[in-house]
């Protein structure tokens, strides 16, 4: 007989009665968890300081980590931003092309956005989600909704309602959900706009190429993955499992200046380490060597990077629940590539906090 533990959080299916229930929560200064097309958000009235403090407390989120503000359209967003003519020209093109959608615009804030949202920064992240539930919550609440990802700070992002229960099952909070996982399964692109300078602060579904196609006259830059900033989603340690997580690649031991005994010891130690590790692969790159690991999973056997990004967090949640495995090794196929590969590298680099392991090529099957 299966024993089901009590759940304090209330799961609400999408209907008008439950939408109104969540709208009342927002208007009364309470928190609501809701889906977007990217990931689930933990939302509150962005104009209510007490409600925002509840987000920080529930997520265990540092107060120096600002929040993204969700709006219904650019008309609402324009109230909370203060941009010059150059910036307006850029923003209008981006909004016309990508909103509603997975693009967050980091703009100079207006007087209506307080420091408790932006962690003291003069910029605010504004996003118009492409999800009917999120849009209804914003419109019917008649306020912008501040919402970071619905997880404990630094832990794996939630893209399915079942992930939410790992974090919030014991909390008195309403969760309005969809049966299917979030459409993209990866967070929005964050784009900082200051005069003619455009910087991708966090890569996401909308890529540099997508942005340059809309703004061919402007150079789009990347912020380095290891460069910290006062922006959401840029902590070096993020999306963390409760296991030792590393990126892995290969090294030819014969190229190292070491004697035979040292080489054999390294190979032996690496083999023992892999015996207690699960490999996260991409495009069957390591399928011939799957027996070297305690377990093996491929984010996309077909080598589809969008599918891999969609699957990433769900795979991490599943691996996190396996008790007898200590290590997760993610194949670093993504470094130095652009587009969605850049997005994937950003997530796995933060997931592993940049830690790496090299596997001797002498162990792999040719």
pLDDT in tens, 221-263: 998 776 555 666 666 678 899 999 999 998 877 666 677 787 7
- Please name which of 152, 147, 158 lies closest in space to residue 185, comparing C-alpha atoms: 158
Domains defined along the chain, listed by start: 10-222 (3.90.870.10), 244-363 (3.40.50.11030)
The CA distance from 349 to 237, in Å, is: 8
Reduce the DSSP state of residue 48 to 3 states and report it.
coil
The CA distance from 191 to 106, in Å, is: 6
Q: What is the pLDDT of residue 255?
A: 66
- Please name which of 306, 295, 297, 303 lies closest in space to residue 344, comparing C-alpha atoms: 306
Q: What is the pLDDT of residue 1?
A: 37
The CA distance from 42 to 40, in Å, is: 7
Q: Could you tell me whether strands 145-146 and 295-298 are parallel, antiparallel, or unpaired per DSSP bridges?
A: unpaired
Q: What is the pLDDT of residue 365?
A: 60
The CA distance from 273 to 262, in Å, is: 17
The CA distance from 366 to 363, in Å, is: 9
The CA distance from 216 to 333, in Å, is: 29
Name the pTM for this structure.
0.93
Q: What is the pLDDT of residue 230?
A: 61
Q: Could you tell me whether strands 41-45 and 197-202 are parallel, antiparallel, or unpaired per DSSP bridges?
A: unpaired
The CA distance from 128 to 96, in Å, is: 12
Q: What is the pLDDT of residue 94?
A: 98
Cβ atoms of residues 355 and 272 within 8 Å:
no
∠ Cα 352 356 357 (to 5°): 130
Q: What is the pLDDT along the chain (366 residues), one digit of tens a residue?
A: 344 456 789 999 999 999 999 999 999 999 999 999 999 999 999 999 999 999 999 999 999 999 999 999 999 999 999 999 999 999 999 999 999 999 999 999 999 999 999 999 999 999 999 999 999 999 999 999 999 999 999 999 999 999 999 999 999 999 999 999 999 999 999 999 999 899 999 999 999 999 999 999 999 999 877 655 566 666 667 889 999 999 999 887 766 667 778 778 888 888 888 889 999 999 999 999 999 999 999 999 999 999 999 999 999 999 999 988 999 999 999 988 999 999 999 999 999 999 999 888 877 765
Q: What is the pLDDT of residue 3?
A: 43
Which alpha helices (DSSP H) does 153-239 contain, by range?
161-168, 208-214
Strand-pairing partners, residue 295, are 278
Q: What is the pLDDT of residue 235?
A: 66
Q: What is the pLDDT of residue 2?
A: 42
Question: Is residue 11 packed enough to be buried (19+ CB in 10 Å), middle (13-18) or exposed (0-12)?
Answer: middle
């Amino acid at each position: 007989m299966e024993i089901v533990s009590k759940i304090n959080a209330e799961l609400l299916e999408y209907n008008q009665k439950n939408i109104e229930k969540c709208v009342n929560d927002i208007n009364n200064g309470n928190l609501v968890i809701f889906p977007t097309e990217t990931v689930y958000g933990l939302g509150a009235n962005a104009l209510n300081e007490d409600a925002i403090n509840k987000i920080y407390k529930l997520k265990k989120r540092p107060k120096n980590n600002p929040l993204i503000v969700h709006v219904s359209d650019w008309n609402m967003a324009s109230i909370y931003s203060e941009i010059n003519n150059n910036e307006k020209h850029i923003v209008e093109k981006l909004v016309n092309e990508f909103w509603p959608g997975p693009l967050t615009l980091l703009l100079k804030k207006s007087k209506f956005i307080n420091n408790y949202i932006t962690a003291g920064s003069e910029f605010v992240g504004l996003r118009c989600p492409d999800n009917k539930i999120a849009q209804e919550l914003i419109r019917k609440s008649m306020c912008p909704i501040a919402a970071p990802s619905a997880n404990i700070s630094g832990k794996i992002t939630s893209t399915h309602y079942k992930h939410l229960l790992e974090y919030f099952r014991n909390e008195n909070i309403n969760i309005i959900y969809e049966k299917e996982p979030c459409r993209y399964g990866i967070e929005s692109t964050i784009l900082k706009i200051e005069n003619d300078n455009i910087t991708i602060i966090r890569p996401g579904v909308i890529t540099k190429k997508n942005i340059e196609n809309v703004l061919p006259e402007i150079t789009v830059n990347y912020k380095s993955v290891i460069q910290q900033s006062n922006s959401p989603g840029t902590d070096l340690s993020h999306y963390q499992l409760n296991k030792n997580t590393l990126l892995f690649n290969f090294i030819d031991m014969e190229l190292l200046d070491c004697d035979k005994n040292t080489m054999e010891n390294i190979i032996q130690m690496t083999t023992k380490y892999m015996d207690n590790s699960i490999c996260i692969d991409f495009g069957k790159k390591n399928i011939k060597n799957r027996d070297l690991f305690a377990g093996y999973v491929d984010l996309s056997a077909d080598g589809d990077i969008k599918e891999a990004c969609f699957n990433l967090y769900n795979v991490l949640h599943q691996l996190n629940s396996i008790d007898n495995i200590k290590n997760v090794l993610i194949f670093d196929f993504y470094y130095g590539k652009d587009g969605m590969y850049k997005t994937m590298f950003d997530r796995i680099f933060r997931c592993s906090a940049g830690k790496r392991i090299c596997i001797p090529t002498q162990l792999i099957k040719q």
